[in-house]
Structure formats: structure tokens, C-alpha cells
Amino acid sequence: MPSTQTDYPAFAVTVDLVVFTLRGGELNVLLVTRGEAPFAGQPALPGGFVQPSENLDAAARRELTEETSVHEVGGHLEQLGSYGDPDRDPRQRVVTVAYLALAPDLPEPVAGTDAAAAFWLPVAKAIELPLAFDHAQILADALERARAKLEYTNLATAFCPAEFTVSDLREVYEAIWGHPLDPRNFHRKLTGTAGLLIDSGKVRRDGPGRPATVFRAGPTTTLNPPITREP
């Protein structure tokens, strides 16, 4: 019996975003307040249906733009994984493809846009909230992914603007791992990895203290050997 165009179960496919940023030295995640059932009024990850003509990455990037009102978010966007338990949405069968997005400090969501219902919340608080659907699990997985990738990639630069100092990077690590790092050894490790950081020639003065060299991200994206998380 040949298969036809209809002899398969129909699914809805969505993308959900875990957008991390640093605000005031603390890791924050973008949440929305749901306006409709199910879970009306509850916090959730931003996301939406994949459109017929776009691929998954494009859907994620479109949602990111819509929800943040920022056109070129920069930073980093990668697929995290898919979640498709039969009862994860009580209305219908939905498979969601979760994405992890990392962004430099973004403006507050703007009223009068799709992003009006969106808000930043420190991750420490978000993981204690009863998020809609299975979003608590997705957030937990995203956090672990981000923590793990800091160890062996230059992912921390995605949280910074194009030009940054070694201290900026260290603060990213400290915020995400939740414990302080030795500034001297950290500096030696990062500046000692060839191709990771490019000296911009500039320096930055912030209050007292010796001015810091300003770098840009270089072609090297992996740290070998990695920085270990355990202190």
C-alpha cells in the first residue's frame, strides 16, 4: 500500500527560545506572560509556530527579532534540542524545537510591540517559577548547555559587545558559573590562547585602576585545554 500525502499523524511544530543576557552582572532570561489558555497568565519561554516556508533556524531568528524588538541581535543562536511528549500541550500534539540564544545586554522590551509582554528575569529566580508547558525543563537544559560550553569555547564573547576587556569576559564566566575566578590566572589563560583574542589597540578606563586592553573576538573558537568549572 503506497503512502499518500495524508497517512501520517499531523503535528504542530514550534520553536521556543531561551535567550540569555547579562544584566547587572547577573544572568537573565527572557520570559513572556501568556495571554491565552493553556497556562494563561503564567510565565513561559518566548516562541511560536514554524511557518510553512521557513526552516527551523530562520523561525528561531524571526522569533528572536520579534520578541526582543532588536533587529540584529548579534550574539549567538544554536539549536538546543526537541521536546515532543504527547501531553506537553493539552490542546494538540506539538513538537517544539528549543533554541539557545546568547545576547549582549539588550534594551527593555518595548510597549506596543510583540515584545510588550516580554520581560527579563534573573535565571536564579526563573528556575524556581512554574513555567508553562515543559519550559522549566528546557530552561534547565539550556542553562547546563551554556555552562558546559563556556568550558571549551569562546561562547562568553557572545554576551559582550564587539569590543570588550578580559574582565568583561571573566564577569560572564562568574555570572554563569556562579563562583569567582582568579583574575590573574584567567587573564593568562585567555590571552595565552593563540587567536582567541585580538588586541584592538585601544584601552578602556573605568573608574580607578589601570586601564584595560580592549579586545575583539579572534578566529579561534575553542579552548584547548578547557577551563574547568570546578574551583
Partner DNA sequence: TCAATAGTGTCTGTAAGACAGTATTGT
Partner DNA sequence: ACAATACTGTCTTACAGACACTATTGA
166 touching DNA, by CB under 7 A: yes
| Structural contact between residues 83 and 142, judged by C-beta atoms closer than 8 angstroms | no
Give the x-and-dash track for 126-165 against DNA (CB under 7 A): ---------------------------------------x
Q: Which does 218 bind (CB under 5 to 8 A by kind): its own copies, DNA, none?
A: none
| Structural contact between residues 99 and 18, judged by C-beta atoms closer than 8 angstroms | yes
Q: Which of 142, 145, 147, 139 is nearest to 44 (CA)?
A: 139
Report cis status (omega within 30 of 0) of the bond before 183: no
Residues that bind its own copies (CB under 8 A): 2-3, 5, 8-13, 36, 49-56, 79, 81-86, 91-93, 95, 97, 224-226, 228
Dist. CA 195–CA 221, nearest whole Å:
8
25 touching DNA, by CB under 7 A: no
Choice between 37 and 111, CB closer to its own copies:
37
Q: Which of 100, 96, 99 is nearest to 133 (CA)?
A: 96
Q: What residues line the site for DNA (CB under 7 A)?
A: 165-167, 182-185, 187-189, 191-192, 203, 205-213, 225, 227-228, 230-231
